[in-house]
Structure 1
Amino acid sequence: MPPSSRLPALHSYDILHSAQEPLFDDLTALAAYIFSVPVARIAFVADEEVWHKAGVGMPAQDSLPIEQSICPQAVRHELPVLVFPDLAARPELSTPAMRAQQVVFYAGAQLRAPQGGCLGTLCLAGYEPRELTAAEQQMLAHLAELTMLALEARRRLRAADAGRWEQLRRTAETELRNQMALVRYLKVRSGGQVPVPADFLEEVSRRLREVADILAAAGQEQAR
């Protein structure tokens, strides 16, 4: 998808400045917990602003001027996950807002729509340098795909029947919270290690397939 088509794709989701929805809050809470980071956000990159649908550690429903956010770099990046392990060592890659908040670590996974446009990121941030292993990057990309499945189901179902979306959202939220309880158990069992062990991430990914199946089935149902 050419860059000129990215914004129409974003606007087709009718997500900018929408009300808080627990499903997206739960997804950011899960990301922050899995990676043991203080900040996780779902960010949408518009033409002049970056708007945060959900967040842990920093406010949700919050906008930043586009030049004050690092997420546009992740949107433009050629790879699905952009990682800055130590922004203190590369201040030219940071922004004044991030430096003011003393954000040192950033990782953003692209929220890529089925038609190919990148709408924004599921991103992590922290106040200490941090590398992300290949397995961790894959997990972050997987969570971004899960977020995108939720966005696609929301777009399709709300267009056909808003009540159907609310029903589906509650079902997905219940399943996600059930899986989060298991994730907490698995993390305690793994000792909360950083970097996060690959076998723990593999088990989490397997657990989240049930949530993904619920969301994907709803989107496919409306596509037929």
Structure 2
Amino acid sequence: MYLRQVHEEADLDALHSFIRENPLGILTTAIDSPSYPFLQSSHIPWILDRTDEAKIGVLRGHMARANPQAKALIEALEKTGTAGPGKLDRDVLVLFNNPVHHYVTPKFYTQTKPTTGKVVSTWNYAAVQVYGKLTVYYRNDSATASFLTAQTETLTEHAETQIMGFEQPWRITDAPESYIELLKNAIIGVEITIEDIGGKFKMSQEMPQGDREGVIAGFASMGSETTTKLSELVKRRGEMADEKKRK
């Protein structure tokens, strides 16, 4: 990820909050395989934890065994012949995106466009990128069963209460136990110990004050839920950038 200092978010708590608010991350792996593509990606909802061993954080998720990316992982790990969870040597990448993003027209730049015309269109967006080491729970053993039970129950609890806001959330135990056990046989667990994390909030912070105010007003005038949120984000991130300059 290209991180200009003006767009960079380095605060770990802020990055963790972003992931928890946008838990659907894109897992990308690079695996040498005679049967599957070298590069593969999958959308996976994640639970983020912090531990004494992994202070930057740990991501826990699951994916379908039928997924070609899961098959490539299992194929590579079976070659090692180790018992229990398998660990991938290469780093993996997970990208989390804010669903609020939009094209920025030069017409919004009320300071620079009228004076010099030296403006071009761009796109405002926010994302967090994670690199780390992947452990895969795929064997028919107690470690896999324990991981999948904890991960799916915690993920469901987070989504039902924090994302959906239900006071009486649906729980996995509400479904027949035999049905849940059947479904668990069709998934594998994936756990990433985070080794590097970075965030980017590209929200017109680099623009002069007049242009930034034009972007805020321009998005607000469009009236959609997305552009209203973007207008607020541009204003907030601009204020944060100004505060950094004063320190």
Using the size of structure 1 for normalisation, the TM-score is 0.27
Structure ranking higher in helix proportion:
1
TM-score of the superposition, structure 2-length normalised? 0.25
**Structure with more of its chain in strand, by fraction:** 2
Larger Rg computed on CA atoms:
2
Higher relative contact order (CA 8 A, sep 6+): 2
